[in-house]
Amino acid sequence: MSDVKASITAVGGYVPDYVLTNKALESMVETNDQWITARTGIKERRILKQPEQGSSFLGIKACEDLFSKTSTKPEDIDLVIFATATPDMPVASSAAYLATEIGAVNAFSFDLQSACSSFLYGMSLASSYIESGKYQNILLVGADKMSSIIDYTDRSTCIIFGDGGGAVLFSPNNEGLGLQDEILKTDGTGRQFLKIEAGGSQLPASEKTVKNKQHFVFQDGKTVFKFAVSNMAGVSDEIMRKNNLAASDVDWLVAHQANKRIVDATYKRMNLDSEKVLMNIQRYGNTTSATLPLLLSDYEKQFKKGDNIIFAAFGGGFSWGSIYLKWAYNS
């Protein structure tokens, strides 16, 4: 094993201007602000209104924010990983377009899709590439235009999701800071509970699939909730034990923002104080691949060099996991 670790050296974030409030949803589906707030913690979410702009737009904006804060230049990037469940289009790599648009002319790039765990898995991948010595600067982008796959007449999904993007730069670190450990899992029996049924190779698009609304996200919320609580909390507790971390050793929990109640169950299982828990679900809802980098972007100024951070995510597949990382800089 090499002594080199992969640390985060810059972050960026972007959300579109348009705000979709709980109040506005009340006129679209049978719901109310009180129910949404109590059951999910969400007050509003952002929506990318321009129909011709896909997820790459959100990712590019997040990268622009990142590059405004670092001396690393786009041409210094070796690899761009675009974590997204809503690529601009099938087949043509959205990562390739994004990399070209931001001027990462010396990088190769690819998309990574594992629903809400895409960004977490991307952290593992970026880190492994750097530890191997193959690449130096890896840009990991997480962005999703969830509004493009949501049925705004389905109250079990439309209240939850929002659009957003985030980006982090991974670079080699010789001080022992950066990604320390990971536990990543999948369970394919979960795919019936959270999915878009049509549009893939199993059920290609047809008049019938459009009529049946099979191109929108379907979820059995109750079942997904139960799996999310037990698995995300379980794996976060497990990574602490594996690394001999007491609750007092953990500085921050950066958990996927799917439902405040899932995050609350996770930090309670870890015995953490609530002030160590990063939360922005109230403003953005569930932005899928963007939740973790948007948290980093919003809270960056509070992190200190050497802080112990536990990341956790759970999503479709099912897919989930936890990562232990030491923060590498003071802002």
Q: How far is the CB of 129 from ligand UT7 (least distance, A)?
A: 26
Smallest gap from Cβ 147 to ligand UT7, in A, equals 15
- In three-state secondary structure terms, 210 is helix
For residue 80 the two structure tokens come to 């761009």
Minimum CB distance to ligand UT7 smaller for 94 or for 288: 288
- Please report the DSSP string for 190-207 in residue order: GGGTEE--SSSSSS---H
Three-class SS state of 245: coil
- Give the residue numbers marked as catalytic: 116, 256, 286
Measured from the CB atom, is 11 or 262 closer to ligand UT7? 262
Instruction: Provide, rounded to whole angstroms, the least separation between the CB of residue 115 and ligand UT7.
Output: 7
- Whether the CA torsion 222, 226, 229, 232 is positive or negative: it is negative
Q: Which residue is nearest to ligand UT7 (CB)?
A: 221
Number of helical (H) and strand (E) elements in the chain, helices listed first = 11, 13
Whether the Cβ atoms of residue 308 and residue 228 lie closer than 8 Å to each other: no
Q: Give residue for tokens 């997040």.
A: 62
Q: Which is nearest to 164 in space by CA: 185, 180, 143, 148?
A: 143
Q: How far is the CB of 107 from ligand UT7 (least distance, A)?
A: 29
Q: How many CA atoms lie within 13 A of 266 on its CB side?
A: 37
- φ, ψ dihedrals at 166, nearest 5°: -150, 160
CB count within 10 Å of CB 3 equals 10
Q: Which is nearer to ligand UT7, 6 or 294 (CB)?
A: 294
Q: Which is nearer to ligand UT7, 226 or 242 (CB)?
A: 226
Q: Which is nearer to ligand UT7, 69 or 195 (CB)?
A: 195
- Residue where the block lists tokens 């974030």: 13
- Least distance CB 32 / ligand UT7 (angstroms): 6
Two tokens, residue 143: 């962005």
> Is the preceding omega at residue 318 within 30 degrees of 0, hence cis?
yes
- Structure tokens of 37? 């707030």
Minimum CB distance to ligand UT7, residue 276 (Å): 21
Beta carbon of residue 40, minimum distance to ligand UT7 (angstroms, whole number): 5
Residue type, 184: L
Q: Which is nearer to ligand UT7, 270 or 290 (CB)?
A: 290
Token pair listed for 214: 């099979």
- 9 vs 287, beta carbon nearer ligand UT7: 287
Enumerate binding residues for ligand UT7 (CB under 6 A). Answer: 31, 35, 39-40, 116, 155-156, 159, 221-222, 224-225, 228, 258-259, 262, 286, 314-315
As a whole number of angstroms, the distance between CA 184 and CA 208 comes to 37
The rounded distance, in Å, linking the Cα atoms of 313 and 247 is 19
